[in-house]
Amino acid sequence: MSDQEFPLFIGGKAVPGTGSFAVIDPATGEAFAECALASTDQLDEAVDAARAAFPAWAAMPIEDRAARLLAIADAIESRQGELAALLSREQGKPRKSAMGEIGGTLYWIRATAALRPAIERVGGSEGPIVELHRRPLGVVGSITPWNFPVMIAIWHVIPALLAGNSVVIKPSPNTPLTTLRVVAIANEHLSAGVFNAVTGDVEIGGAMSRHPGIDKIVFTGSTPTGRAIMREGAANLKRLTLELGGNDAAIVLPDADVDAIAPRIFAAAFGNSGQVCAAIKRLYVHESVHDALAARLAEMAAAATVGAGDDPDSQFGPLQNRKQFDYVAALADDARAAGGRFLTGGTATTGPGYFFPLSVLVDVTDGVRAVDEEQFGPILPIVRYHDPEDALARANANDNGLGGSVWSSDVERAAALAQRLQCGSVWVNDHSTISPTIPFGGAKQSGIGVEFGQHGLDEYTQLQTVRIPR
């Protein structure tokens, strides 16, 4: 397979698609590669291969499965620079950030491979011995997004494989290339059919959701798509893990140290050009520190370098695709029309590519689209408030509930308020920090189930109760 070929993987073999599609460089808006396009018949072949491979893979001792996963990590590490360059080109993030994503991938594989399903004993000393075992589900379908295409693929696939499942993955059609390279590397260390890859857009994703041969779907992406997967998967009662949209609120209390918190808030709002599910997307700041914090964040945003991924001076890349670029620009226009004021940014860069400057927005409140909707881009709306209870009520009024945070010099007070946020993860004086050993998932419309750690591994298993006479 040459550096210019990006085939499907079915039954352990590289397979051409029934067609192809162009992959766009978001720094130029121009196509730079062609990727194989799968048909629904090829999806059927991939599922058949996964089902055929499942019994032997599930029967393999977990220590042996874990060893295969660690070998995959070593193989990815040996090609880290090559993979990071390709990831930067297709996703748009600077090369250093792409290296960080591949490095995070290695860390996640190795930490996840150390997990083991627990066998629990329940009941008393009388009657039968009752054990709770965890059994693999069968075939897991993974549908991944374009913001962290390699990292999120690993989040989906590695616990599925460790638990004894086989996998069919469909990467986003915006960023399929590096994921396909990783699948090819993984297949050098796995039995044929254990890990398969198909490509496509809505047609293939919908077919995966309906497919009777797929036992579970794990999906990261928008809430509307998550709902569609849930509807389609009802046909065979698919197990689901859905990590969906977020509109994370951060509340800054009046005693917060502006100089101390500004860099951390900036990083949590603008990392990956705001294209992070659990980024800070609404910042509620007490009126006593509002102006100082807004000015400090605007200063940092204005000083940031936004550029192409292969430019060593770039700190932030373009938005990944035209649709997202147009959406972020529309939110900025709507905010201005509603009386909002950009302290910096707010207008798309002219020229090729999907570049939008880091933008700090003030004089807006709930009811403005840029506050109510997930921007998934480099716009940070800052909402002034007087009463912390009012800020909490506003934060909780949104349908999303992925993450939230409270910032204060009084950690106990902040923790008490944070625990009243209606979201799956909360942080104090931090935001977006995650770990392969700590569960992560959303509340309300932000998803079903959790990823990471023992709880995340359990999502890829069926609980089996075993009763044994004494």
Report the run of H or E that residue 262 belongs to, with start and end. Answer: helix 258-270
Cα separation values, 191 from 2, 112, 153, 436, Å: 22, 20, 19, 25
Answer yes or no: 243 catalytic.
Answer: yes
- How many secondary structure helices (H) and strands (E) does the chain include? 15, 22
101: left (phi over 0), alpha (psi -120 to 50) or beta: alpha
Question: Among 108-122, 124-138, 139-153, 355-369, whose mean pLDDT is lowest?
Answer: 124-138
pLDDT in tens, 255-307: 999 999 999 999 999 999 999 999 999 999 999 999 999 999 999 999 999 99
Confidence of residue 398 (pLDDT cuts 50, 70, 90): very high
Query: Domain residue spans in the chain?
Result: 8-244+446-468, 248-435
For residue 277, how many other CB atoms are within 10 A of its CB? 26
Superfamily of domain 8-244+446-468: Aldehyde Dehydrogenase; Chain A, domain 1 (3.40.605.10)
Half-sphere exposure of residue 142, counting CA atoms within 13 Å on the CB side? Answer: 30
End-to-end Cα, the chain, rounded Å: 58
Distance CA 260, CA 364 (A): 25
What digits encode the pLDDT tens for the residues 173-202? 999 999 999 999 999 999 999 999 999 999
The active-site residue, picked from 90, 232, 243, 374, is 243
Amino acid at position 90, single letter? E
**Domain 248-435, CATH among 3.30.70.20, 3.40.50.150, 3.40.309.10, 3.40.50.2300:** 3.40.309.10
pLDDT of residue 349: 85
Q: What percent of the chain has pLDDT over 90?
A: 96
What's the pLDDT at 3?
A: 65
Active site residue 188: no
Average per-residue pLDDT for the chain: 97
Handedness of CA 11, 175, 161, 65 (dihedral sign): positive
Provide mean pLDDT across the span 448-459: 98
pTM equals 0.96
Q: What is the mean pLDDT of residues 429-452?
A: 97
Half-sphere exposure of 300 (CA within 13 A, CB side): 22
**Predicted local confidence at residue 124, as pLDDT:** 76
Q: Which of 277, 374, 451, 459 is catalytic?
A: 277
pLDDT at 328 over 90: yes
Counting residues of the chain whose pLDDT is more than 70, the rounded percentage is 99
Mean pLDDT, to the nearest integer, of 5-14? 96
